[in-house]
Amino acid sequence: MSRSAHPAGPRHADVYPEGHYTAPATDLNELDAKVWSRTVTRDEDGALTVGGMEVARLAEEFGTPAYFLDESDFRARCRAWADAFGAEADVFYAGKAFLSRAVVRWLQEEGLNLDVCSGGELATALDAGMPAERIAFHGNNKTVAEIERAVEAGVGRIVLDSFQEIARVAHIAQRAGTRQRVQIRVTVGVEAHTHEFIATAHEDQKFGIALADGQAAEAVRRALTLDGLELIGIHSHIGSQIFDMAGFEVSARRVVQLLAEIRDEHGVELPEIDLGGGLGIAYTSEDDPREPHEIAKALSDIVTRECESAGLRTPRISVEPGRAIVGPTAFTLYEVGTIKPLEGLRTYVSVDGGMSDNIRTALYDAEYSVALVSRSSEAEPMLVRVVGKHCESGDIVVKDAFLPADLAPGDLIAVPATGAYCRSMASNYNHALRPPVVAVRDGQARVIVRRETEEDLLRLDVG
Ligand SMILES: *Cc1c(COP(=O)(O)O)cnc(C)c1O
């Protein structure tokens, strides 16, 4: 088997205008290790295997569509992040990317902490035995009931996102007779996405409290006076799918600047800063993500340098990768149903899932790769659009890609890097039954989230 360059497919439709396009130079049977989880290979018959199990067997046992999660890869990524940041920092896995009880147990075993941002995520974390002190609670509009639950459980930190919430959490903690450890989420005026970041004028969004007009300093002033709160630090999260560290650099500099102002005004040096998540992964061969140790070094260098120049003790750093841990560890397996060649345009390949199991393409114009995985093929590449079975023309899974021209109904195709924000954003549109998540490891496959059934749907419909 080989794991070299996999054709990414064109990034934009206009690269391959109607009627003529350039087929990729690489062999469609080759798998790019960047976009597939670590134990994925092809066996001698050309069928894809993960965790030592062949996809046709997995499809037979678990059906399609289904997400297959490479458990040893997930654990290895957790360890890589934990090792890279070491004992002087904390890694919080962002549960919204994908959360289940099995994942919570893996995180505990691999020494990670956990971010939650709703009562449901908190319930999952606690039910699976995550110690409350290792949980951080996020969100721009936590309900009173959610805050009460988090305070009662004793979560390690609540990240405060508004003035109302500062008062609300203080009140609830005081009533419960505790002091809740909190951070204040600030917006540093940086928004980063993929290869770009914009360093000004991005306060126009719902999260956090702006640094720019002194709002964040005022939030700190209030938090420091309230008995129910123990302010442990400042939090900043600048975006998603980021490759360029420059946005983090600006963010860290501005957060450290605020720490210096807090010291000058209040005589306290806050012990922690959280730089959020948002680190990018490879969805196609054109993406070049950084390794956790490079990210850790870059962040700790920036913070250390900025603190030295501000005369501050270096605070404890935390980070919150979600996508970067779980994203690369899973692929979605689909069966091809219909194939429609549109003369002079492209071929539409319909699969048995779609926007109900992967909304990212419709929502953000996300790029994905795709491969024929039930067999190898020597056929010519054909330009395809992989679409779902939903009643929506925007129901696209992979916008532009190449698959072999002998693709046929019944073939299995897989879309890699669907571990993050696919199952967690899945819907029941058209009364679709949300697919299972199957963990595969060392020749064993285990359902960790089962497939929905029609009974599940009908149970909620109480007539
Ligand atoms: C979404 C989010 C994350 C995780 O983002 P990824 O892109 O999955 O790494 C981390 N922290 C906060 C506050 C978030 O909202």
Domain check: are 213 and 287 in the same one?
yes
Output the CA 93–ligand 1 centroid distance in Å. 9
How far is residue 264's CA from residue 344's CA, in Å, rounded to a whole number?
67
Q: Which ligand 1 atom is at minimum distance from the Cα of 279?
A: 9
How confident is the prediction for the chain on average, in pLDDT?
93
Lowest mean pLDDT among 139-143, 169-173, 195-199, 237-241: 195-199
Domain check: are 223 and 342 in the same one?
no
Q: Which ligand 1 atom is at minimum distance from the Cα of 138?
A: 13
- Among 288, 321, 354, which residue terminates a domain? 321
Domain check: are 339 and 310 in the same one?
no
Q: Residues 437-454: pLDDT tens digits?
A: 999 999 999 999 999 999
Measured from the CB, is residue 161 less than 6 Å from ligand 1? no
Domain check: are 40 and 145 in the same one?
no
- Specify if 77 maps to a domain: no
Domain check: are 386 and 343 in the same one?
yes
CA-wise closest residue to 51 among 326, 444, 437: 444
Domain check: are 227 and 352 in the same one?
no
Measured from the CB, is residue 277 less than 6 Å from ligand 1? yes
- Specify if 95 maps to a domain: no
Structure confidence at residue 399 as a pLDDT band (50, 70, 90): very high
**Domain range spanning residue 232?**
138-321
Measured from the CB, is residue 240 less than 6 Å from ligand 1? yes
Question: 275: left (phi > 0), else alpha (psi -120 to 50), else beta?
Answer: alpha
Residue 363: partners with Cβ closer than 8 Å, 6 or more residues away? 425
Output the CA 408–ligand 1 centroid distance in Å. 39
Q: Which ligand 1 atom is at minimum distance from the Cα of 241?
A: 7
- Specify if 102 maps to a domain: no
**pTM, 2 dp:** 0.94
> H or E stretch including 150?
helix 144-153
- Specify if 81 maps to a domain: no
Number of domains in the chain: 2
Cα separations in angstroms, 159 against 242, 274, 310, 440: 22, 10, 25, 34
Tell whether the model's pLDDT for residue 403 goes beyond 70: yes
Domain check: are 308 and 349 in the same one?
no
For a ligand 1 pocket test, name from 112, 240, 243, 299 the mutation site with the most ligand atoms within 8 angstroms of its C-beta: 240
Q: Which ligand 1 atom is at minimum distance from the Cα of 239?
A: 7
pLDDT at residue 26, rounded to an integer: 76
Tell whether the model's pLDDT for residue 287 goes beyond 60: yes
Measured from the CB, is residue 323 less than 6 Å from ligand 1? yes
Query: Could you give the percent of the chain with pLDDT greater than 70?
Result: 93
Structure confidence at residue 191 as a pLDDT band (50, 70, 90): confident
Q: Residues 220-260: pLDDT tens digits?
A: 999 999 999 999 999 999 999 999 899 999 999 999 999 99
Domain check: are 273 and 180 in the same one?
yes
Domain check: are 388 and 371 in the same one?
yes
Q: Residues 43-91: pLDDT tens digits?
A: 999 999 999 999 999 999 999 999 999 999 999 999 999 999 999 899 9
Q: Tell me, what DSSP letter sits at residue 184?
A: E
Measured from the CB, is residue 328 less than 6 Å from ligand 1? no
How far is residue 237's CA from residue 300's CA, in Å, rounded to a whole number?
16
Structure confidence at residue 205 as a pLDDT band (50, 70, 90): confident
pLDDT at residue 90, rounded to an integer: 98
Lowest mean pLDDT among 89-93, 154-158, 362-366, 430-434: 362-366
Q: What is the CATH number of the domain that holds 41?
A: 2.40.37.10
pLDDT at residue 21, rounded to an integer: 56
Measured from the CB, is residue 278 less than 6 Å from ligand 1? yes
- Among 289, 321, 353, which residue terminates a domain? 321
Domain check: are 396 and 449 in the same one?
yes
Structure confidence at residue 193 as a pLDDT band (50, 70, 90): confident
pLDDT at residue 9, rounded to an integer: 42
Asked if 72 and 442 touch (Cβ cutoff 8 Å), the reply is: yes
Output the CA 256–ligand 1 centroid distance in Å. 20
- Specify if 232 maps to a domain: yes
- Among 302, 321, 340, which residue terminates a domain? 321
Q: What is the CATH number of the domain that holds 280?
A: 3.20.20.10
Domain check: are 295 and 390 in the same one?
no
Lowest mean pLDDT among 111-125, 204-218, 363-377, 380-394: 204-218
- Specify if 266 maps to a domain: yes
Domain check: are 391 and 437 in the same one?
yes
Which residues are annotated as catalytic? 391
For a ligand 1 pocket test, name from 78, 81, 96 the mutation site with the most ligand atoms within 8 angstroms of its C-beta: 96
Q: Tell me, what DSSP letter sits at residue 116?
A: E
CA-wise closest residue to 337 among 399, 392, 442, 407: 407
